[in-house]
Amino acid sequence: MTTAAPQEFTAAVVENFGHEVTVKDIDLPKPGVHQALVKVITSGICHTDLHALEGDWPVKPEPPFVPGHEGVGEVVELGPGEHDVKVGDIVGNAWLWSACGTCEYCITGRETQCNKAEYGGYTQNGSFGQYMLVDTRYAARIPDGVDPLEAAPILCAGVTVYKALKVSDTRPGQFMVISGVGGLGHIAVQYAVAMGLRVIAVDIADEKLELARKHGAEFTVNARNEDPGEAVQKYTDGGAHGVLVTAVHEAAFGQALDMARRAGTIVFNGLPPGEFPASVFNIVFKGLTIRGSLVGTRQDLAEALDFFARGLIKPTVSECSLDEVNEVLDRMRNGKIDGRVAIRY
Ligand code: NAD
Ligand code: ZN
Ligand code: ZN
């Protein structure tokens, strides 16, 4: 039985870039056309939320806003129009909150590039609150019987790395480097293993590398202690076929070129705001492909959730309360989180 929604609810709000989030009561929104009001059960905290709070990127959200795009919750009210979800269904928000559905990107399976896309917890209020709105055409359908806390990180971290691996042009038995073993990276290790790739993990903290080995990485490199390019070239006898960078430091992006095999593919997921030096000679002579990859489509998300529901992916998640979000963001800033932290409401 669903109880009536209140007039107000508690959320973590970004009021000014570069400051802590403010936990306060805000007005409950009314679901518009194609929208549903969702009572949030849990929300993962992604490093993108930290970039949003800091105003790190050239395309900025407009404060005040509520971050969060790994929210799982129950539909409590539907807006006008037709919906293929109903009250009581468990759904999720995602970074791709909605898109136009008709542009050249939307109609060619590249909806994440839609110029009119809305982003969860960025251009639309997100899941760092007890309630959120979703567009039911784009909301994730959470499979039956899964733990919401473990499902939450799949909605961004999971789909993002799953898609990145899909576009890495690698096949089973080949070497894949996962550079950065945080929220995204520790899940990337698991998808790569599930796809039959031989996984090498690179990070700058030993405990992250231990987590990577736990999830199936066969070789790990601490880039603080040794040159990851040399170590990977030696271990793989010529470099990795694919390199996926989820790290939050620019240095890792330049190192990716050194770790790749000739004709290898490098996929960038991480979004530090800066730049990195790259040798033109290296790229041309080695015939490298460098590819940016942004989250995933609804179909990618459904596939990523299917891997998860079949037990192939088990995110390492610890929980916190809404009041602890600032402290968690601080730990994230300092690289002190193992796997993901999710807010439990
Ligand atoms: P996180 O804070 O959980 O993990 C970052 C990891 O990078 C940590 O393990 C840290 O130790 C590691 N790291 C830092 N410097 C490094 C270096 N020099 N070499 C190797 N590893 C290093 O962050 P997250 O939530 O996993 O997000 C990672 C990045 O991905 C963020 O920039 C985020 O905005 C971005 N992101 C992109 C997409 C996308 O669609 N492309 C989606 C989600 C997140
Ligand atoms: Zn994210
Ligand atoms: Zn579009």
Whole-number Å distance, alpha carbon 112 to ligand 3 midpoint, is: 8
Nearest CA to ligand 1 atom 9: 182
Q: Is pLDDT at 344 greater than 80 in this prediction?
A: yes
Which of 184, 215, 227 is the pocket-test mutation for ligand 1 (most atoms within 8 Å of CB)? 184
Give the Å distance between the CA of 113 and the centre of ligand 3.
7
Domains of the chain: 8-156+296-344 (3.90.180.10), 158-292 (3.40.50.720)
Please tell me the distance between residue 338's alpha carbon and the centre of ligand 1 in angstroms. Answer: 12
Ligand 1 nearest-atom number relative to CA 339: 3
Q: Which ligand is nearest to the CA of 297?
A: 1
CA 256 to centroid of ligand 1, rounded, Å:
14
* 3: confidence class by pLDDT, cuts 50, 70, 90: low
**Residue 318: what pLDDT?**
98
Q: Is the pLDDT of residue 8 over 90?
A: yes
Chain segment 56-66, per-residue pLDDT in tens = 999 999 999 99
For ligand 1, residues with CB inside 6 Å are 46-48, 51, 156, 160, 179-185, 202-205, 208, 223, 246-249, 251-252, 269-272, 293-295, 332, 335, 337
> What distance in angstroms lies between residue 298's CA and the mean position of ligand 3's atoms?
13
Whether residue 176 has pLDDT greater than 80: yes
Residue closest via CA to ligand 1's atom 29 equals 270
Ligand 2 centre distance from Cα of residue 286 (Å): 32
Q: Please, what is the average pLDDT of the chain?
A: 97
The partner residues of 320 in beta bridges, in order of sequence, read: 343
Cα 136 to Cα 33, 178, 330, distances in angstroms: 9, 33, 33
Report d(CA 218, CA 125) in Å as an integer. Answer: 40
Query: Looking at residue 2, what is its pLDDT?
Result: 53
pLDDT in tens, 245-302: 999 999 999 999 999 999 999 999 999 999 999 999 999 999 999 999 999 999 999 9
Query: How many Cβ atoms are within 10 Å of 323's Cβ, its own excluded?
Result: 11
pTM: 0.98
